[in-house]
Structure 1
Amino acid sequence: MNSKQYLKELGLALLAYAALLIASIAWLNGDPNLGSPWRDLIALSPMLGGGLAVWAILRQLRRLDELQQRVQFEALALAFAGTAFISFSYGFLEGLGYPRLSMFVIWPLMAVLWMLGLLLAARRYK
């Protein structure tokens, strides 16, 4: 029951994100002379769906039992610390002339480290 509710909430949030993303791109491409405050708000509008996804994830974490919460906590701690370590390390390399990376690299890196953390934590408590 909990996972069905979570998938429903997360699915609706991601659908809202996708719809707002498509609409914002179409609107911004259709009116290149749009003024700054409106242009910025339209560009950020998909994050309303992103905020709903954060809400759905937090609700699901609260529904988990204590052991699963601990597994998630350890996985997220690894993802947070690992992302900081890797991004700071690469920042030093950028100072040596390595290409600058987009901020869009951070979330996939954190997601991969979260999954790795889940595998390690789940193995630890098996």
Structure 2
Amino acid sequence: MTRYVKEMGGALLAYMLVLAGSIRVLQALPELAMAAKAAIALLPMLPGIAMCWAIVRNLRRMDELQRRIQLEAFSVSFAGTGLITFSYGFLEGVGFPKLSLFIVWPLMCTLWVVSGFFCGRRYR
């Protein structure tokens, strides 16, 4: 098992546990002050930061070709996410249902994986 898998897997497990815990606390204690609710709701972002750190550490361990492939994949993912979300924003203006911002991160990650596959094939 690679170091990246351990780091990302640990951060992802922590994220799921903290997320489940924060949801339970917020549901069990609806009378909490708004500041406390906000702090508890944001707790899952701490392991989220660890996930981002695992990605950065993994990029730093890559050779130049792997970094180039990832840069191209990130670029496609960034631009694609912008185009898709912007386009859907226009569609919301003509009556399409509003989407949560929670869709942006999974969309960006999906585009990153897919574009990484295609960008990597170019160098084989």
TM-score bucket of the superposed structures, by smaller chain: over 0.9
- Aligned runs of 1:1-126 on 2, under 5 Å? 4-126=2-124
RMSD of aligned alpha carbons: 1.1
Structure 1 residue ranges, 4+ long, deviating more than 4 angstroms after superposition: none
Provide the TM-score with structure 1 as the length reference: 0.93
In the TM superposition, residue 25 of structure 1 has moved relative to its aligned partner by 1.2
Unpaired segments ≥5 residues, structure 2: none
- Once the two structures are superposed, residues 30-71 of structure 1 have per-residue CA deviations (whole angstroms, 9 ceiling, x without a partner) of 111000111100011011011101001100011000000000
In the TM superposition, residue 15 of structure 1 has moved relative to its aligned partner by 1.7
- Once the two structures are superposed, residues 60-109 of structure 1 have per-residue CA deviations (whole angstroms, 9 ceiling, x without a partner) of 01100000000000001000000001111111111111111111221222
Unpaired segments ≥5 residues, structure 1: none
Matched residues in 1 for 2:90 and 2:105: separation?
20
Moved more, 105-114 or 47-56: 105-114
Moved more, 19-28 or 36-45: 19-28
Matched residues in 1 for 2:10 and 2:107: separation?
25
Q: Secondary structure at the match of 1:15?
A: helix
